[in-house]
Structure formats: structure tokens, C-alpha cells
Structure 1
Amino acid sequence: MTGKSRLAGEVVDVHLSPTHTFSKESRDLINLLEGRGVEGDAHCGVTVKHRSRVKADASQPNLRQVHLIHSELFDLLYEAGFAVKRGDLGENITTRGIDLLGLPVGSRLTIGDAVISVTGLRNPCQQINDFRTGLLKQVVRTDSDGNLVRLAGIMGTVSRGGVVRPGDRIRVELPPLPHHSLTRV
């Protein structure tokens, strides 16, 4: 379904943190700022805000303005014995009913007036194990072909600003063919 918009899911919860904490607090709404990210969040900006990336090259464009995780991941983690709640993994938007990890690069997610352009996968790091010992092995796995599979959500940039609230519907517009699978950003 290239170029056509389809209803794909909904927003379950929204989160932000004004400081570089691992987890983010649940909010009634978040405001997405075009080209910058989530207003009031520590990762909001045109250039990279993640500390390790700032240290490497602070002039890099911020391809990680918005972090989205599918709520179904929390169900899987619970089944594996991990009590992890929405916002604990640092996402800005928790979704339901949408295959975030299966989206191609450049997909556009319309939520209310806001539009997020998907840039890639979140690359889980040791901080996840610091949060809960053993959790990293649950969100980074190896498939039967030996490929690394990252399950900790996707990242995107804000193409059009707007307010996002729990209960908002999400529409997906796929980019033109050929589609490119998500890789870590």
C-alpha cells in the first residue's frame, strides 16, 4: 500500500522527561515540534541529544527525536518475568495494534495533526540491563539465520508538529517503493 494512508493503531500512552533519565513519566499529552521532537523532553533538538552521540559528534542531525514502542512488547516482557511498564524503556509514545518494527524507513505516522517520519530502530544498550538485569537479552535477540533483531522500538523525526494524546488513532503512509528495512539509528 505505497503512498496510501491506512488506519493502523492507536496511542496507548505518552511520556517525556526533561532530564536524561532512562525512564520517562506518563503525561496527559505531548506536543511535537516540527524538526525538533517532543517539547520539554531532554532529547528535543535539531542535532543529536543522546549523550553518547553528542560526545562522538554533536553536529549530527537528530534522527531520534521521537521514540515509539509497541505495547505488545510489554506483554512479551511480562511473560518472560519482567515487570516493565509503559515509559520505563524511555519511549515518548506507546502504541497498540501497529507493527512498528515491520515499517520501512520513511513511513509516515499521522497522529492527529502531527506527522512522524520513521528513521530507524532504537539500538538498545547496557542501560537496559542497568534498569533490569537480563532485560537486554529480551529486547535484542538473534533470529534463526543469525541476524540481530532489535525489539525496543523505533525512532523518528517530526515532519509536522502537533499534540499527541492517549487514545489518538495512528494512520500509516508507506513510502514509495522500493522499501528499505529499518536499521539502527
Structure 2
Amino acid sequence: MTGHAPSGTVAAVSRSARHDFSKPNQDSIRLLAGLGVEGDAHLGVTVQHRSRVAQDPTQPNLRQVHLIHEELFAEVAAAGHEVTPGQLGENVTTRGIDLLALPVGALLRLGGEAVVEVTGLRNPCLQIDAFQSGLLKRVVGRGEDGRLIRKAGVMGVVLAGGEVRPGDPVAVELPAGPHRPLERV
């Protein structure tokens, strides 16, 4: 049986038609089922991330939408890094949801129509340090058990399209079955 987790809100939405590191904030974005964010460089059925295209351009795009929890910005600010929505390349900045604790297959209902299925964790790269020196070690760390912890958000695919705006509700629906922890995609 599926379950529901706490809900939150959309803090900001962003997109860029270019493969820039940061994405400008928008008044709204349109999610397109099976493709991603209309007008965004990562839109597509197959992988659009440059390093992934170089490996195998036919692999499915499990990174159609990038979401980051706004609470991360306060965490990195405590270490002297000022980061605002869109600057880490996310399409949707959420508030009030522990995105990193969600399992694979969790559904995020954004606004009135859009549904994103969580596929995994963003794998932060050295571009984060090019954006702000030392930021990479704030968004990637090690747990007490030595396990790598990635904090730079989650990735997902669009199951149902629709407009998404700041202030829209975000409802989480957990998948049936055992909790499968997120891994990098």
C-alpha cells in the first residue's frame, strides 16, 4: 500500500535553455510528461547531461527535473556560502520536505497537475567549486559509517505535466513495498 509523507511548498522554479551551471528563476515552469521542463537544456527522453551523453547518448533521461530543498541553503550559509534558488542548477526549489530521505519511486505532486517520480540523487561535481570555492565539500560528505552523503538534491522524471509556480503545494506519495534508498543517477 502506498503512503503519504509530509507535504511542503514550491519555493522557486528555474530553467535555462543553455547548459549553464545556474538557472534563472521564473514566474512559472511547465513540466512535460516524459520529457522534463519545457525550454530547459535537460529536456528529453534520452539523457541530456553532457557527461552522460558522451558515455551513452541512448540511455534514458532519469534526470529530467532537478529538485533541491531550500533548507540546504541555510545549511551551507552557516559555513559562509550564500546560495539562492536556481544557482545550483535546480528546476524546483522546495520548502518543508526532506527530499534526500525519500525512496526511489516517491511521487511529488507539484501544484494542481504535475507529478514527478523521484529517480535518485544528484551527483555533485567539481562545477560546484567553480561556482563557489569550498561548496562541494558542504554538499558532499561522509556519514559516521564512512558512507558518501550527497546533499545537492534529487532527480526525477515527469509522469504528468502541468504548470508549477512558487507557492504551489508539494504533496509526497510514497511507493508501495520496501523503502529503496536513493542512489546517484
What is the TM-score when the length of structure 1 is the normalising length?
0.98
Residue identity opposite 2:15 in structure 1? L
Please tell me whether the aligned partners of residues 3 and 176 of structure 2 are also in contact (alpha carbons under 8 angstroms). no
Report the CA distance shift for 1:183/1:6 in structure 2 as closer, same or farther (over 3 A).
closer
Match of 1:173, SS? strand
Aligned to 1:179: 179
Equivalent-residue separation in structure 2 for 1:133 and 1:57 (angstroms): 30
Deviations 1:65-101 (A, max 9, x none): 0000000000011111001111100000000000100
Report what 2:170 is aligned to: 170
Aligned positions of 1:128-147 closer than 5 A: 128-147=128-147
Q: Map 1:18-167 to 2 at 5 A.
A: 18-111=17-110, 112-167=112-167
Identical positions, percent: 60
Q: Deviations over 1:124-158 (max 9, x none)?
A: 00110111111100000001110000000000000
Structure 1 segments, 4+ long, off by >6 Å, are none
CA RMSD of aligned residues (A): 0.9
- Alpha-carbon distance in 1 for matches of 2:6, 2:126: 35
Aligned equivalents of 1:62, 1:108: Cα separation in 2? 17
Range 76-85 or range 36-45, more displaced: 76-85
- For 1:68, give the aligned amino acid: L
CA distance in 1, matches of 2:3, 2:135: 37
